[in-house]
Structure 1
Amino acid sequence: MYKTHKLDNGLTIIGEEIPYLKSISLGVWINAGSRIENEKISGISHFIEHMLFKGTKNRTSKEIASEIDNLGGQINAFTSKECTCYYVKLLDSHIDVGIDILSDMILNPLFDKKDIEKERSVIIEELKMYEDSPEDLAYDLLTENIYVNNPLGMNIIGTTKSLDEINQKDLLNYFDKYYVPNNAVISISGNFDFDEMIKKIEDKFNSWKQREVSVEVEKAEFNPCFIAKNKDTEQVNIAISLDAVPSENTEEVYALAVINTVFGGSISSRLFQKIREEQGLVYSIYSSQTLYKKCGELGIFASMGPDNLKEVYDSIIEEIKNMRESYLTEKEIEESKEQLKGSYILGLESTSSRMMSFGKAMLLNKSVRTTDDILKCIDDVNIDIVNKVIDKIFNVDKLGVCIVGRGVEDIKL
């Protein structure tokens, strides 16, 4: 059962005590991601994530890493379209060290000009790494085009141009604007006493000053498109996107999860069984849902030899049409619901996944569903809402398609 507490400075703490474990996962969540950036500062949320590991007034970059490493723990961070998270996983006896380091990173970062230049180079190398991954490149290009002229379509890492131009003043202004306690959440899962944990966090974070902040996002309109990019690879990678449902539409979100499991979200799914197992055309094919505030998408991804591209694409289109024409059977819906519940419960065995799940929910939605609530939401999915969501999403006349591979710019599908 989750417990919550808000400090006087507006910092929200949410925790789940699991006394039979010997570890704790703790994350500091900031309500700032690439979706609130503009082209000039594209990638700044991710840049700041890197800079917080480059040293504080009290620790060098190496000390931040080694203090956790020496305890056998983990420290890391990530930036998404809608938020940034810094987290540790440690033995329960070492959590004080984790809290001290994370608070030091959040409250006392240096943003040294020399470090900024070094990290700029590191991030540009990271951008090149993703561009060398055809699957990542296909998805990034697709997202850029289906959400054209909207920050949601911008790469989380940024562009070479924006990364070259972001300076210390930009970083500090963005950091001061969004890194405030009333725009943050701390989530904890593992073996701890909640009241004692509040005191530990308050002791380290009470100097964090509250300021007015507004994080508003506009709806990103889905733009059907077709993009092909030549890249010298052995396989062709294809990414297809369907306009889906936003994260706040609870009933439709869970219906889509059921649909996705049947369609391409598992090895027993229609896409996998037909295109890989029956036709033998691919090694990798799957679908997944990505949900944002006010919009969402259902993505389909596959890799294949160039000679199989047309047949794979046609088979995917056929399966999209089949969903719209034949829907799901009651048996498929019930089996999918059981599969979802099993996967969800198994995922709860990790303190990290629990901390991530309710930390993000509290940050973005201001509320968290209990395990029983989530299982009920899955159980409540029925054939009527499933059919409604299929009618809304599975439309072959409104697709985003991106193909990356050798000679694909001349291919007609």
Structure 2
Amino acid sequence: MVEKTVLANGVRVITEKIPFLHSVSTGIWVNAGSRDEQDHERGITHFIEHMLFKGTARRTALDIAKELDAVGGFSNAFTSKENVCFHAKVLDTHLPLVVDVLTDIFLNSVISEAEVERERQVILQEISMIEDIPDEHVHILFQEEYWRDHPLGWPIYGSADTVSRLGRRDILHYMRRTFHPEKIVAAAAGNLEHHAFVDLVAPSLEVLNSTPEPSRRLPPTEHPIHRVLRKDLEQVHICLGMPGCSQAHPARFACHLLNTVLGASMSSRLFQEVREKRGLAYSVYSFTNSHEDTGLLGIYAGVAPQQVEPALQVIRDELVRLAEEPISEAEFAAAKEYLKGSMYLNAESTDSRMNRLAKNEFTFGRHVSLEEVEALVDQVTPEEARSWFAGAFRPNRIGLLLLGPAHESQIRAFVG
């Protein structure tokens, strides 16, 4: 059962009671992420994510870790393009403790100058680590190119240059500007009572009273360029993308089903054609990135330098076939079962349930049940999915980036 309470200041509290479990996952969410940063603030939301665990007036960083470890709990945080979340999972009997810890770090973090300097070095190492993982880094580089000069294309962690210049004053100003009550959701899923949870979080969160500065998210412009970034690597990492669907787009389920057929599973077309039949890659898949006002349908493959052109040709052939030829009823039915199965299996996790509560609230302003999603998935026909893709698949709207020992001439295998 899902219940929602809106506090007097606009903070939303949403819970889902799952009485047969012994755990509760809870999170404090803010509808603000890296796309809400200004140019000089790149990486600041992610910086804040780190800083809020570094101590409050009541607890040191070690105290925070010890209190949760002592009850077998787990806590963490993450930053996305559009949200930041501070969350924890504990046995239901320890819910009062975890709420006290989370609200304390969210509202009362000291953010000392010394900790800012110390954590800056940690984040700089994190940036270096990601840049040393090419199959992750290529996605970041691709989005920087595809959504160039727009915050949605900026790396969530910022850059070494911007992170080196951020200070305590910048952090506090950004939080005052973006962490206001109307953008905050406290969500929890597991063995709990809604009104008891409200009673735990309200005394702390309802005292928030900040006036948001006027701000509006502007959709990005696509820059589907073709580029090679040469780097001394063993493989060439291929990333390409085209327009996808936003989080609430009417065709979003057609897009997700199309993605499943194309490359989201071991039986998908790309996995079978690129890896199983030709042995051109170990890792090949398609993916969707959905945001508030835009989306991306993409493909990744890591291949040997001499296999770039054959791999790109196979990928192009599969995209053309998907746009021009009907999808069989059997293949589409299997894609539906894959999508629904993944959804229901994920729903067995209280973390996943808690995440759904907050994300649906931000996107739709209401709870969207699993049964409603299943019905919408079942309504999509193979021709609707193919037709949507035929509209999205335009050569002049596809971006392509090669990272590694590649050459511009190899791109011609794809662009023709």
Which TM-score applies when normalising by structure 2?
0.96
Whichever residue aligns with residue 363 of structure 1, its letter is F
Instruction: Report the counterpart of residue 309 of structure 2 in structure 1.
Output: 310
Post-superposition offset of 1:180: 2.1
CA contact (8 A) 1:317 1:396 kept: no
Secondary structure at the counterpart of residue 296 of structure 2: strand
CA contact (8 A) 1:321 1:395 kept: no
Kindly indicate whether residue 118 of structure 2 is the aligned counterpart of residue 118 of structure 1. yes
| 1:312-391 paired onto structure 2 within 5 Å | 312-391=311-390
Post-superposition offset of 1:405: 1.3
Distance 2:28 2:215 in 1: 17
CA displacement 1:194-248 (0-9 Å, x = unmatched):
1111111113323222433555211112111112122222222111111112222
CA displacement 1:341-400 (0-9 Å, x = unmatched):
111111111000111122122124322211111111111112342133112222233211
Distance 1:41 1:213 in 2: 16
Instruction: Report the counterpart of residue 225 of structure 2 in structure 1.
Output: 225
Instruction: Report the counterpart of residue 277 of structure 1 in structure 2.
Output: 276
CA displacement 1:222-275 (0-9 Å, x = unmatched):
1111121222222221111111122221x3000111111111011110000111
CA contact (8 A) 2:247 2:363 kept: no
CA contact (8 A) 1:139 1:402 kept: no
CA displacement 1:34-86 (0-9 Å, x = unmatched):
11112211111111111101111111111111211221111000000001000
Instruction: Report the counterpart of residue 61 of structure 1 in structure 2.
Output: 61
Whichever residue aligns with residue 247 of structure 2, its letter is S
CA displacement 1:90-110 (0-9 Å, x = unmatched):
000111111001100111011
CA displacement 1:277-329 (0-9 Å, x = unmatched):
11111111011111112210011011121111111111111111111111412
Distance 1:202 1:137 in 2: 41
Instruction: Report the counterpart of residue 405 of structure 1 in structure 2.
Output: 404
Distance 1:214 1:86 in 2: 25
Post-superposition offset of 1:407: 4.7
| 1:13-52 paired onto structure 2 within 5 Å | 13-52=13-52
Post-superposition offset of 1:185: 0.3
CA displacement 1:179-200 (0-9 Å, x = unmatched):
2222100111000111111111
CA contact (8 A) 1:320 1:396 kept: no
| 1:144-163 paired onto structure 2 within 5 Å | 144-163=144-163
Instruction: Report the counterpart of residue 2 of structure 2 in structure 1.
Output: 2
CA RMSD in angstroms, aligned pairs only: 1.5
Aligned length: 412
- The 1:6/1:287 distance shift into structure 2, 3 A limit, reads same
Instruction: Report the counterpart of residue 265 of structure 1 in structure 2.
Output: 264
Structure 1 ranges of 4+ moved more than 6 A: none
Whichever residue aligns with residue 167 of structure 2, its letter is N
Which runs of 5 or more structure 2 residues have no equivalent in the other structure?
Answer: none
Secondary structure at the counterpart of residue 340 of structure 2: helix
- The 1:108/1:340 distance shift into structure 2, 3 A limit, reads same
Q: Identify which range, 258-267 or 1-10, moves more after superposition.
A: 1-10
CA contact (8 A) 2:258 2:386 kept: no
Instruction: Report the counterpart of residue 89 of structure 1 in structure 2.
Output: 89
Distance 2:383 2:407 in 1: 40
Whichever residue aligns with residue 316 of structure 1, its letter is I
Same amino acid, percent of matched pairs: 34
- The 1:408/1:101 distance shift into structure 2, 3 A limit, reads farther
Whichever residue aligns with residue 324 of structure 2, its letter is E
Instruction: Report the counterpart of residue 255 of structure 1 in structure 2.
Output: 254
Distance 2:397 2:23 in 1: 47
Kindly indicate whether residue 295 of structure 2 is the aligned counterpart of residue 296 of structure 1. yes
CA contact (8 A) 1:261 1:269 kept: yes
Secondary structure at the counterpart of residue 280 of structure 2: coil
Secondary structure at the counterpart of residue 58 of structure 1: coil
Distance 2:244 2:192 in 1: 39
Distance 1:174 1:364 in 2: 23
Whichever residue aligns with residue 175 of structure 1, its letter is M
Q: Identify which range, 333-342 or 143-152, moves more after superposition.
A: 333-342
